[in-house]
Amino acid sequence: MPKPASIRGPETVAAAAVPALPELSRAAVTVALCCYLVGLALTMLGNTASGSSALVRTVKGRLFAPWMVPAWLDLGFDHPLASGGAGAADHALEVGLLPPAANRASRFPELRVGAQAARWRRLARAVADAADDADRGGPLAAAVGRGMFATLGGEDVVVRVVRTPPPERGAPPQAAETAYAARVRSRDGELQLLRSEPRVEVAPLVTPPEERPR
């Protein structure tokens, strides 16, 4: 009795026509993919401002840096509240008229919450961090002051960044401090920035003794 002929569909014929990769080649590809994924995971986990091992930095800089930036994988995992130090402080902006007017100062983020409050805190921190940079600190604070002219109804304001350190365990809350202060005013259409420098102790002036006659 003759055997029935096997019926093959077009998919089966196409699959049979494609030659399979040798076992050695498939093993090599699998090992390469595993090494790449492990290296990418180590790079993402070791990408922190608190430091990482020399091996992770080398792997990141030589192999994975070109792919991490476009994919936004170079943000790091360390949170400022977990790292401690000055970077964990809460920053806020205060802009008020000069001379001080009652109930005319504006504070940001104040009652704002969520992403909007986070943006204001980042702006305040950027102003404080760039205070010593003449190219970034001055123009940034001047732009903040100029933007508040219409809101406050005057063209002579004080821009202040208030920094509140994070509370330490078992210690009372620390008082807020002024991290940056500058006066922004408009004179004859020209924007002027006058930074307020903190007072420091200096040596007293001593009058030189009079020369004695010989």
Sign of CA dihedral 30, 32, 35, 36: negative
Count CA within 13 A, CB hemisphere, residue 175: 2
| Cα gap 180→176, rounded to integer Å | 12
Domain ranges in the chain are 17-68, 83-195
pLDDT bin (cut points 50, 70, 90) of residue 41 is confident
73-114 pLDDT, tens digit per residue, is 555 544 555 555 666 788 899 999 988 765 678 889 888 888
φ, ψ for residue 45, nearest 5 deg: -70, -30
Per-residue model confidence as pLDDT tens digits over 159-185: 999 998 877 766 777 788 898 999 999
- Outline where 46-136 has alpha helix (H): 54-59, 65-68, 80-83, 114-129
Q: Tell whether the torsion through CA atoms of 188, 148, 124 and 97 is positive or negative.
A: positive
Global pTM value: 0.53
Determine how many CB atoms are found less than 10 A away from the CB of residue 97.
19
Radius of gyration of the chain (CA): 32
Beta carbons of 8 and 32 less than 8 angstroms apart: no
Q: How many CB atoms lie within 10 A of CB 80?
A: 16
pLDDT at 199: 63
| 166 preceded by a cis bond (ω within 30 of 0) | no
Instruction: List, for residues 122-146, the tens digit of each pLDDT value.
Output: 899 889 888 777 667 688 899 999 9
Q: What would the mean pLDDT of 15-22 be, rounded to a whole number?
A: 59
Q: Who's near 157: CB < 8 A, 6+ residues apart?
A: 95, 96, 97, 98, 145, 148, 149, 183, 184, 185
